[in-house]
């Protein structure tokens, strides 16, 4: 879990956790370069076929694998 105030890639300052689920956590962050609030997802992928398929589904623009 990332703590508020953490800076990622010298750009994104974590403000707070918005939620979490099976694949990771979503944070509210401030983009220091663009000067705006963004959402960042910390992805936690287990080394299993099921986890890989779930990741691919989520990454797909249509929520499914063709």
- Identify which of 15-24, 43-52, 53-62 has the greatest average pLDDT: 15-24
Distance in angstroms (rounded) separating the CA atoms of residues 41 and 50? 20
| Across 45-60, average pLDDT | 78
The pLDDT assigned to 65 comes to 52
The pLDDT assigned to 49 comes to 85
User: Would the pTM count as exceeding 0.95?
Assistant: no
Domains of the chain are: 7-59 (3.30.200.20)
């Amino acid at each position: 879990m990332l703590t508020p105030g953490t800076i990622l890639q010298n750009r994104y300052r974590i403000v707070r956790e918005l939620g979490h689920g099976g694949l990771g956590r979503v944070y509210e962050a401030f983009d220091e370069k663009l000067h705006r609030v963004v959402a960042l997802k910390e992805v936690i992928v287990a080394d299993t076929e099921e986890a890989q398929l779930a990741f691919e589904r989520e990454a797909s623009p249509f929520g499914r694998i063709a």
